[in-house]
Amino acid sequence: MALSLPIYMDHAATTPCDPRVVEAMLPYFTEKFGNAGSRNHRFGWDAEAGIDAARDAAARLIGASEKEIIFTSGSTESNNLAIKGAAYMYEKAPAGSKSRGHIVTCSIEHKAVLDPVKRLVKEGFDATFIDPPADGVITAEMVQKALRDDTILVTIMWANNEIGTINDVRGIGKLCKERGILFHTDATQWTGKMPTNVDADHIDLLSWSGHKIYGPKGVGALYVRRHRPRVRLQALQDGGGQERGFRSGTLNITGIVGFGKACEIALNEMEADAIRLGRLRQKLEQGLTSQLDSCAINGRADGRLPHITNISFGFVEGEGLMMAVKNIACSSGSACTSASLEPSYVLKGLGVGDELAHSSLRLSLGRGTTEEQVDYAIAEIVKAVKKLRTMSPLYDMHKEGIDLSKVEWAHH
């Protein structure tokens, strides 16, 4: 069968909806369109039954109880609610005094964590942004060093969206529990792909999102622990008091039903998916690194998600590389800001130089990825990198054995 182009290798950015998810959602657009808040008629009860089933599936995926699940519009909102909601609820001192409390996070979190924390800093909270080591993995020891007497919250992602590295969530959770500090994790890249249990890992708050796990966009959830401790949050939005007051607004029933179905499928299939994708990822990495010299896989080898790889290719120019592999839908190590292409702050955070960051590709596999697509990606990328290197004088010098770090460059 002919390969349909372009191929999709950007599942860390978003995933297609599983057809079983779409099928589950359809009745809730039309015959079961009621408002789950309508207590007096069939339409409302049908909607509520759909929500209940979704809540049950979401809770089961993470080893929680249904009462601990708050539906949101996705991980960005879940992170905002967890981080700001906890900070406002547990702040140590009134606004205007020296510090309202301290928050610990890390400098390679997603913007949906970094920016809420930065907002709190502007409002008078203190924060420590832990810099990762070169392998990208945050350990309990690093978090311990950052804790203070006035620390309210630790927020550390479970797995990194750019490089797929996995942090020591269990160790960090245990540490926070011992110190009586709330622990939130942005589990958007982890939950639904890998086993999640909020009790085993001592998690108080956990965010995840529908569209990263083959569900619809615009829906996600926040887990809020109810026992030992009972976590309270200040709501960020006032209104009808839905979701036990944590998140007012008429429930997005179609989205939530789809999210629930995606959680149910994930629980049943993630193990098989992870094994299959892990093999394909290994094949991809091996295919590239065996045929190309001067390329490096970013992030600790044995602590990564099975379906994400991030590779820097030396002696190629980043924009040229992206152009040359345009039949492979993937992400580059450059981030578009309004004016220019900036190297990824995650790769920079690991100590990857600007040039190499620009010439990096994040390839992320998913349920629809085939062996044939992986073969195609290997061949295309090898071809592109080899071709670009024929145009690189630096690569010639490198091959002649000139140590480029010792060359004195003329600066203009």
Interface with ligand PLP includes 75 (CB under 6 A)? yes
Q: Which is nearer to ligand PLP, 76 or 309 (CB)?
A: 76
Q: Which is nearer to ligand PLP, 86 or 112 (CB)?
A: 112
Interface with ligand PLP includes 307 (CB under 6 A)? no
Pairing of strands 205-209, 182-186: parallel
Beta bridge partners of 70: 222
In this structure, the number of other CB atoms found within 10 A of the CB of residue 99 comes to 15
Interface with ligand PLP includes 112 (CB under 6 A)? yes
Q: Which is nearer to ligand PLP, 177 or 367 (CB)?
A: 367
> Binding-site residue total for ligand PLP (CB under 6 A)?
13
Distance CA 311, CA 314 (A): 10
**200 touches 149 (CB < 8 A):** no
Of the candidates 50, 74, 216, 314, which one interacts with ligand PLP according to CB under 6 A?
74
**Smallest separation, CB 323 to ligand PLP (Å):** 25
Q: Which sign does the torsion angle of CA 244, 247, 251, 254 carry? A: negative
Distance CA 23, CA 99 (A): 51
**Smallest separation, CB 220 to ligand PLP (Å):** 5
Residues 235 to 294 in contact with ligand PLP, rule: CB under 6 A: none
Name the one range near ligand PLP by CB under 6 A: 73-81, 125-133, 251-259, 380-388: 73-81
Q: Which is nearer to ligand PLP, 168 or 186 (CB)?
A: 186
Interface with ligand PLP includes 212 (CB under 6 A)? yes
Interface with ligand PLP includes 186 (CB under 6 A)? yes
Tokens 């700001």: give the residue: 84
Per-residue exposure over 274-310, b if at least 16 CB sit within 10 Å of its own CB, e if not: bebbeebbeebbebbeeebeebebbbbeeebbbbbbb
Structure tokens at 153: 């919250």
> Cβ neighbours of residue 146 under 8 Å, at least 6 residues apart?
104, 128, 130
**Smallest separation, CB 98 to ligand PLP (Å):** 31
Of the candidates 15, 17, 50, 76, which one interacts with ligand PLP according to CB under 6 A?
76
Distance CA 213, CA 336 (A): 25
Name the one range near ligand PLP by CB under 6 A: 17-25, 70-78, 148-156, 311-319: 70-78
Of the candidates 105, 155, 188, 359, which one interacts with ligand PLP according to CB under 6 A?
188
Distance CA 204, CA 182 (A): 6
Name the one range near ligand PLP by CB under 6 A: 55-63, 68-76, 118-126, 221-229: 68-76
Distance CA 281, CA 287 (A): 10
> Exposed, middle or buried: residue 63 (CB in 10 Å: 0-12, 13-18, 19+)?
middle
**Smallest separation, CB 364 to ligand PLP (Å):** 10
Of the candidates 50, 220, 306, 366, which one interacts with ligand PLP according to CB under 6 A?
220
Interface with ligand PLP includes 162 (CB under 6 A)? no
The single residue of 106, 263, 330, 336 carrying the catalytic annotation is 336
**Smallest separation, CB 12 to ligand PLP (Å):** 6
Half-sphere exposure of 72 (CA within 13 A, CB side): 26
The verdict on whether 263 is a catalytic residue reads no
Name the one range near ligand PLP by CB under 6 A: 69-77, 82-90, 131-139, 361-369: 69-77
**Smallest separation, CB 30 to ligand PLP (Å):** 26
Of the candidates 32, 55, 102, 110, which one interacts with ligand PLP according to CB under 6 A?
110
Among candidates 180, 121, 172, 174, which has minimal Cα distance to 150? 180
Of the candidates 15, 185, 209, 309, which one interacts with ligand PLP according to CB under 6 A?
209
Q: Which residue is nearest to ligand PLP (CB)?
A: 74
The vertex-99 CA angle with 81 and 140, nearest 5°, equals 65
Interface with ligand PLP includes 189 (CB under 6 A)? yes
User: What DSSP character marks residue 210?
Assistant: G
CA distances for 7 relative to 12, 207, 372, 392, angstroms: 14, 29, 10, 28
Q: Which residues are catalytic?
A: 336
Which parts of this chain interact with ligand PLP (CB under 6 A)?
74-76, 110, 112, 157, 161, 186, 188-189, 209, 212, 220
